[in-house]
Every structure is written in C-alpha cells, then in structure tokens.
Amino acid sequence: MSASVPAGGFAAPKGIPEYVGPEFTTVRDTLVREADRAGYAHIELPVFEDTALYARGVGESTDVVSKEMYSFDDRGGRSVTLRPEGTAGVVRSVIEHGLDRGGLPVKLRYTGPFFRYERPQAGRFRQLQQVGVEAIGVDDPALDAEVLAVADAGFRALGLRGYRLEITSLGDATTRPQYRAELTRFLEKLDLDEATRERARINPLRVLDDKRPEVRAQLDGAPLMIDHLSDEAAAHHAAVKRYLDDLGVAYVENPWMVRGLDYYTKTTFEFVHDGLGSQSGIGGGGRYDGLMAELGGQALSGVGFGLGVDRALLACRVEEAGHDAAGRVEVFGVPLGDAAKERLVGIVGSLRRAGIRADLAYGNRGLKGAMKAADRSGARFALVLGDRDLEAGEIQVKDLADGSQTAVALDDAAAAVDRALHEG
C-alpha cells in the first residue's frame, strides 16, 4: 500500500509533544534519581495491555476508561489498549511473575509514555510522559509518607518551589459502604442530568470531582469522606501526617479531593502548581488496598504515584527553575584541515572511551562556523587543531566559558581535558 505525502509534509499527531535536547531528559532523570535513592528498582512495562486490565483495575465509571482510552482490536481479534496509567500494569506484572512471593514491599519505578484521548491544551496531551513508583505488599503509613517524600524531593531537586502537596483519605473497606450510602442519599436530592446520575449510581464519589459550575453549586454541604473515616482509617491518616512532619514534607488537607481512578483507598494526594492554569496537577497518587486482589492476586496493599514529566517541565519554565540542564557534550573538536580532522577523530574517540561526552565539527567547516557549532553544543571546552599546531605537536584547549586558551601536547590532549573537566 502506498500513500502520498500530504501537502506541507508530515506532522506529528495532534496533542503529541516532542522534545529535543537535554531539557526533557534532565527533568525526567531528576525525578527518577530520587526514586532510585529510596531503593525502587526499574520495571519496563508493555506500552499496551489487555483492555480488560484497565476496565477492571481502573474502573469502568472513570473518565479514563469510559472516554479516554486508545483501545483497538489487534490482528488476532483481541482488544488491547495503549496504557493510560501505570499502576494496573505494575500490579499485573507483580502477580504474573510472582514478585510478591519474596521480600515485601516490592518497590518498583517506571518511566515512559502513557496515552489518553483528551482535548489537547497547555499541559494536557494525548501522549503524556510520567515517572511512577509503586510499593506493594505492606500496609504501613510510613511507606505512604516515603512515597510522598520521594515525589516531593524530586520536585525540589528540579528547583521548584511554587507547588503544594494536597492530601486526604478516601477511607477503607469499613468506611466506604457507609459513606457511599450517605453521599448517595445527598446526591438523589440534587438536580442532575441523566449522565451525571448514572455516574453517581456507579460511583457517587466521582460526582464530587465534577468541575461544572452548575454541579459545584449544588454540592455545598455534601458529606465528605474525611468526616466519616473508621477508627483504623483515621489512625492511618494521622500517622501518615506525623511521618510527613518527621520527613519535613509540607502538606495541606483537601477533603474534596477525588482522584480520577477508582482503585484509591486511604491516603490520596496530588501535587498542584497554580502557575500552570487549569491543568495545575503535576503529580498524584495514593494507596490502593484492594487492587491486587481485584486483578487476581493476593490481598496485598500498595501505594504509589505518577508524576507528569511534561507538567513538571512546564512548571520549571514558569518558575525559571535552574534544573542544571547539561550541555549535549563536554568537549567539542574543531579541526582545521583534513590532517587535523584525522588526528582529532582519534582524540575524540579516546575521550568517549574515557567516559567524556565529545563531538566533532563535521563537514569541513571554517573556524567561525565550527566555533558556532561548539557554542551550540553546550561544551565546556573546544579542542582546536590546525596545520601549524600539528607541526608543533600541540593542540589548543579553549575554555568556552571564559574564552581562555592553552596549548597542550597532542599526545596529552585527552588526559589534559579530563583533568580540566574534573578541576572545573
């Protein structure tokens, strides 16, 4: 099958951001590093799963499942879905591979793209990038606090300060049926459209998350879960807050919070940055005590988060946060002539073998063009080599930060640059 090139050329699909250069990877890797420091091992998840995994695990009443999933039949007639979130896939993997049969908790972290069909706007994309962690197998409020602290440390490591952590509790198996009945009685008295009444029938908590003014106006006086916690759930919530105080993590209570996924219980949280407008959430998560059993595994609890890399990057731009986006390379070779290029190719290779990021001006550029390329690369040093340098057995090491230049022996070039980088 052949297809013509569209007028104006090809373009990325609508709502799919693209990133070039170190800015995106610096943000992502900074968030990952904080999870690594807390002992979370990497897990690489499939980009698509059985559709039933999300319908069962995330909840059929959620907008994610009912409106936003990219689902399709594969060539074998199986319904598969591009992953809209990470927790269900991690829990499925833990069950499938028996990871819960060893030491607990199982602590895993993941990165990558997730997919939701939404109306594209600033901060809301159809392909979104996330860093997530999951700690499965232990119901301990100290673990909830650790998860929250890892996320907070990641945002702080990026230099962000204009965000807040909002937390609440969504109760437990004892709390929820009683609260659900009371909330249902309250909602039955309201003037709601049929679609909203159906949502209330499936999961009345979802109505509390409705953003429409005509619905919000009617919710004044609605019963809140935080006021109906069982003794055990209330004790858990109080302990989480004490551990957050011990960890130095600031938070505010938000009793109206309702996460967009049905599996959350007890600790529930969101990181909010008001500088991003309506799409203010930069990460969130919570505890999901019944999810593993729901997906066919042991009745083990879990807690985790998903942090939006795209949103965190936008927040960094809003705050002009210095997140130390490193240059593409550390050293840039500038050869002036064919003989100089042949020698510099070997030197650049030696630098790379020594673990130093290095590049070279290709295409026989003149000195001016090659130095512009060196500046664009973000390198700290340029190695400038011409015919006269070759005759003298030297190479010029130019510090691109202050403009100073030093001649060193050609045979010592790689070692000299290594020393200079470490001294700097």
Distance CA 311, CA 28 (A): 11
Helix, strand, coil percentages in the chain from 3-state DSSP, rounded to 5:
45, 20, 35
Lowest mean pLDDT among 47-56, 316-325, 365-374: 316-325
Q: Please report, in range form, the residues annotated as the binding site for L-histidine.
A: 85-87, 116, 130, 134, 259, 263-264
pLDDT tens for 308-320 read: 999 999 999 999 8
Mean pLDDT within 392-397: 94
Q: What is the pLDDT of residue 362?
A: 94
Lowest mean pLDDT among 172-181, 357-366, 371-380: 172-181
Q: Where are the alpha helices (DSSP H) in 70-168?
A: 87-96, 141-157
Q: What is the pLDDT of residue 391?
A: 93
pLDDT tens for 60-103 read: 667 777 788 889 999 999 999 999 999 999 999 999 999 999 89
Burial of 147 from C-beta contacts in 10 A (0-12 / 13-18 / 19+): buried
Q: Report the chain's mean pLDDT, rounded to a whole number.
A: 91
Give the pLDDT band of residue 168 (cuts 50, 70, 90).
very high
Are 307 and 283 a contacting pair, CB within 8 Å?
A: yes
Q: Please report, in range form, the residues annotated as the binding site.
A: 85-87, 116, 130, 134, 259, 263-264
Q: Which residues pair with 416 in a beta bridge?
A: none
Q: What is the pLDDT of residue 359?
A: 95
Give the pLDDT band of residue 323 (cuts 50, 70, 90).
low
Nearest CA to 289 out of 93, 91, 151, 96 is that of 91
**CB atoms near residue 368 (< 10 Å):** 8
* 129 pLDDT more than 90: yes
Strand order, beta sheet including 302-308 = 41-42, 106-115, 127-136, 302-308, 281-287, 265-273, 163-169, 252-253
* 324 pLDDT more than 70: no
> Mind giving me the DSSP string for 177-193?
HHHHHHHHHHHHTS---
Decide: helix, strand or coil at residue 376: helix
The token pair that represents 231 in the structure block: 């003794």
Q: Which domains does the chain have, with CATH numbers?
A: 22-172+230-319 (3.30.930.10), 331-423 (3.40.50.800)
Q: What is the pLDDT of residue 134?
A: 98
Q: What is the pTM of this model?
A: 0.85
